[in-house]
Structure 1
Amino acid sequence: MAAEATKPVRIFVNHVDEYQGYHISKYLSQCAVGATLEDNEEEEEEAGSVLSGDFPVKPKEGCYEIHGTLKKTGAKQPEFVKEILSYDTREQMYEHLVECDVIVYDITQDPDQIEEAMWALTELHQDIEKLESQKVFILLSTVMTWAKSKPADEEDLESPLTEEDYRKRKPHQNYKEHLAAEKAAVKYGKTKKSRLTTYIVASGLTYGCGENIFHSFFKAAWHNAFTLPVYGNGQNVLPMIHIRDLAAVLQNIADSKPKVKYLVAVDDSQNMLDEVVKAVSVGLCTGKIRTVTKEEAALSKDIDQATLDQLMLSLRLDAIYVKENFKINWACETGIVENIDQIIKEYKKERGLQPIKACILGPPASGKSVIVKQLCDFYKLHHIRAKDVITEAIANLQRSAARADAEEEDDDGKAAEDAETLEQVNENMAENNDRLDDSFVIRFFREKLASKACQNQGFILDGFPKTKQQAEDLFAPDEDDEEEGEDGGGPFNKRLMPDQLFVLEAGDDFLKRRVMQLPEAVVAGTHNTEEGLLRRLSEYRAINTEDDSVVMYFDEKEIHPDVFDVSKDDSTMHAALVERIKKAIGKPRNYGLTPEEQEEIRRREETERLENEKRERDERERRERQEADERKRCQEEWAARLEEVKREEHELLEIRSEPLRNYLMKHVMPNLTKGLMECAKVRPDDAIDYLAEYLFRNNPQVD
Structure 2
Amino acid sequence: MEDKKQRNRPKRIFINDIHKYSSKYIAQFLAGCNVKESSEDEGSETEAASSSRPAQPAFEIVGTSLDSPEQEAKQRNFPFKLYCSPTRDELLQVLLQCDVVVYNISESLTKQEIEEATWAITALQAEMDSFQSRKMFILVSTVMTWALTKPRDSEDPDAFLTEEDFRRRRQLPKFRDHYRLENDVLKLRKVKKCKILSYVVASGLQYGKEENLFHYFFKMSWLMRLPEVPLFGPGTNYVPMIHVHDLAGVLQNVIELKPRSKYILAVDDSKNTLEEVAKVISETLGSGKLRKVPEDEATSTAAFQPEEWACLSIDLRLEAFIIKDSFNIEWRYEDGLVSNIESIVEEFKEARQLLPVRIFLFGPPAVGKTTVAQKLCHLYKIQHITINEVTEEKVTHWVSGSAAYSQQELRCPLVEIYGKRFKKAIVDASEHFSEKEVAGAQAALDNIKEHWEINGQLPEHQLFEILQEKLNSNPCRNQGFVLDGFPNTYDQAKSIFSDEDALDQDRRFQQPVCNQEITPEHIFVLDGPDDFLIKRVQGLPQSAVERTLYTQEEFLSRLQRYRQLGASYDSVVDYFDELEIHPEYIDVSTADPEYRNVVKTITELVGQPKNYGLSPEELEQEERRLKEEEDQKLALEAAERKHRNEVALAEMALQYEQWQKDLVEVKSQEEELEEALALPLRNYLMKNVIPPLSEALLDCSKIKPEDPVNFLVLPHCRARTISLKGEAGANQSSSLPVQDIPGIRRQSGLEPQLLATPLL
Name the structure 2 match of 1:529: 551
Rounded to whole Å, the distance in 2 between the matches of 1:319 and 1:39 is 34
Rounded to whole Å, the distance in 1 between the matches of 2:719 and 2:383 is 122
Secondary structure (helix, strand or coil) at the match of 1:186 reads helix
1:449 lines up with 2:464 in the alignment:
no
Q: 668, 671, 674: which is aligned to 2:696?
A: 671
Q: Which moved more, 1:198-207 or 1:375-384?
A: 375-384
2:199/2:262 contact within 8 Å kept: yes
Name the structure 2 match of 1:630: 651
Partner amino acid for 2:617?
E
Name the structure 1 match of 2:572: 550
Shift of 1:619: 1.4
Q: Which moved more, 1:212-221 or 1:566-575?
A: 566-575
Shift of 1:671: 3.3
Name the structure 2 match of 1:606: 627
Q: How does 1:55-70 map to 2 (within 5 A)?
A: 61-70=56-65
Rounded to whole Å, the distance in 2 between the matches of 1:549 and 1:640 is 79
Rounded to whole Å, the distance in 2 between the matches of 1:117 and 1:631 is 77
Q: How does 1:563-602 map to 2 (within 5 A)?
A: 563-564=584-585, 566=587, 571-602=592-623
Partner amino acid for 2:377?
C
Rounded to whole Å, the distance in 1 between the matches of 2:334 and 2:702 is 141
Q: Which moved more, 1:525-534 or 1:464-473?
A: 464-473
Residues 694 and 669 (structure 1), Cα distance of their counterparts in 2 relative to 1, 3 Å cut: closer
Rounded to whole Å, the distance in 1 between the matches of 2:234 and 2:38 is 41
Residues 205 and 322 (structure 1), Cα distance of their counterparts in 2 relative to 1, 3 Å cut: same
2:92/2:120 contact within 8 Å kept: yes
Name the structure 1 match of 2:148: 148
Shift of 1:313: 0.9
Partner amino acid for 1:630?
E
Structure 1 length-normalised TM: 0.86
Shift of 1:482: 12
Residues 521 and 295 (structure 1), Cα distance of their counterparts in 2 relative to 1, 3 Å cut: same
Rounded to whole Å, the distance in 1 between the matches of 2:127 and 2:303 is 46
1:238/1:272 contact within 8 Å kept: yes
Q: How does 1:613-624 map to 2 (within 5 A)?
A: 613-624=634-645
Shift of 1:208: 0.9
1:210/1:351 contact within 8 Å kept: yes
Name the structure 2 match of 1:217: 217
Name the structure 2 match of 1:53: none
Shift of 1:651: 5.7
Q: 434, 437, 449: which is aligned to 1:411?
A: 434
1:501/1:559 contact within 8 Å kept: no
Partner amino acid for 2:487?
P
Partner amino acid for 2:240?
P
2:31/2:57 contact within 8 Å kept: no
Name the structure 2 match of 1:85: 83
For residues 540-585 of structure 1, the C-alpha deviation after alignment (integer angstroms, 9 at most, x for no partner) is 34555533433344444x2443151535566554443444433443
1:365 lines up with 2:366 in the alignment:
yes
Q: How does 1:52-201 map to 2 (within 5 A)?
A: 61-72=56-67, 75-77=71-73, 78-86=76-84, 89-110=87-108, 111=110, 112-188=112-188, 190-191=190-191, 194-201=194-201
Name the structure 1 match of 2:415: none
Name the structure 1 match of 2:385: 384
Residues 635 and 165 (structure 1), Cα distance of their counterparts in 2 relative to 1, 3 Å cut: same
1:12 lines up with 2:14 in the alignment:
yes
Secondary structure (helix, strand or coil) at the match of 1:588 reads coil
1:36/1:252 contact within 8 Å kept: no
Partner amino acid for 1:98?
L
For residues 657-694 of structure 1, the C-alpha deviation after alignment (integer angstroms, 9 at most, x for no partner) is 67477576444465357547765xx9xxxx7x576468
Secondary structure (helix, strand or coil) at the match of 1:68 reads strand
Residues 609 and 378 (structure 1), Cα distance of their counterparts in 2 relative to 1, 3 Å cut: same
The number of residues matched between the two structures is 675
Name the structure 2 match of 1:245: 246
Residues 645 and 284 (structure 1), Cα distance of their counterparts in 2 relative to 1, 3 Å cut: same
Shift of 1:277: 0.9
Name the structure 1 match of 2:445: 422
Q: How does 1:269-280 map to 2 (within 5 A)?
A: 269-280=270-281
Name the structure 1 match of 2:326: 325
Name the structure 2 match of 1:497: 519
Name the structure 2 match of 1:316: 317
Rounded to whole Å, the distance in 2 between the matches of 1:499 and 1:88 is 47
1:18/1:71 contact within 8 Å kept: no
Partner amino acid for 2:392?
T
Shift of 1:497: 3.0
Partner amino acid for 1:621?
K
Shift of 1:354: 2.6
Q: How does 1:204-353 map to 2 (within 5 A)?
A: 204-224=204-224, 225-353=226-354
For residues 207-265 of structure 1, the C-alpha deviation after alignment (integer angstroms, 9 at most, x for no partner) is 11121111111111112342222221111000100000011111122223333222211
Rounded to whole Å, the distance in 2 between the matches of 1:623 and 1:23 is 62
Residues 676 and 247 (structure 1), Cα distance of their counterparts in 2 relative to 1, 3 Å cut: farther
- Alignment root-mean-square deviation, CA: 3.6
For residues 64-115 of structure 1, the C-alpha deviation after alignment (integer angstroms, 9 at most, x for no partner) is 2222222356843323242220356322232233222222222232323112
Residues 38 and 369 (structure 1), Cα distance of their counterparts in 2 relative to 1, 3 Å cut: farther
Rounded to whole Å, the distance in 2 between the matches of 1:317 and 1:30 is 29
Partner amino acid for 1:11?
I
Rounded to whole Å, the distance in 2 between the matches of 1:571 and 1:231 is 50
Shift of 1:613: 0.5
Rounded to whole Å, the distance in 2 between the matches of 1:673 and 1:612 is 87
For structure 1, list consecutive stretches of 5 or more residues without a partner in the other structure: 41-58
Q: Which moved more, 1:262-271 or 1:81-90?
A: 81-90
2:497/2:515 contact within 8 Å kept: yes
1:31/1:63 contact within 8 Å kept: yes
Identity of aligned residues (%): 36
Rounded to whole Å, the distance in 2 between the matches of 1:310 and 1:697 is 133
Q: Which moved more, 1:25-34 or 1:402-411?
A: 402-411
Residues 545 and 404 (structure 1), Cα distance of their counterparts in 2 relative to 1, 3 Å cut: closer
Partner amino acid for 2:197?
T
2:128/2:194 contact within 8 Å kept: no
For structure 2, list consecutive stretches of 5 or more residues without a partner in the other structure: 43-53, 407-428, 723-760
Shift of 1:505: 4.5
Rounded to whole Å, the distance in 2 between the matches of 1:580 and 1:465 is 23
2:30/2:248 contact within 8 Å kept: yes
Secondary structure (helix, strand or coil) at the match of 1:161 reads coil
Residues 654 and 559 (structure 1), Cα distance of their counterparts in 2 relative to 1, 3 Å cut: closer
1:401/1:415 contact within 8 Å kept: yes
Q: Which moved more, 1:327-336 or 1:576-585?
A: 576-585
Residues 328 and 364 (structure 1), Cα distance of their counterparts in 2 relative to 1, 3 Å cut: same
Rounded to whole Å, the distance in 2 between the matches of 1:469 and 1:637 is 80
Structure 2 length-normalised TM: 0.80
Residues 652 and 170 (structure 1), Cα distance of their counterparts in 2 relative to 1, 3 Å cut: same
Partner amino acid for 2:218?
F
Shift of 1:442: 1.9
Rounded to whole Å, the distance in 1 between the matches of 2:590 and 2:26 is 52
Rounded to whole Å, the distance in 1 between the matches of 2:490 and 2:453 is 26
Residues 429 and 215 (structure 1), Cα distance of their counterparts in 2 relative to 1, 3 Å cut: same
Q: How does 1:513-524 map to 2 (within 5 A)?
A: 513-524=535-546
Residues 127 and 499 (structure 1), Cα distance of their counterparts in 2 relative to 1, 3 Å cut: same
Residues 475 and 87 (structure 1), Cα distance of their counterparts in 2 relative to 1, 3 Å cut: closer
Rounded to whole Å, the distance in 1 between the matches of 2:587 and 2:328 is 62
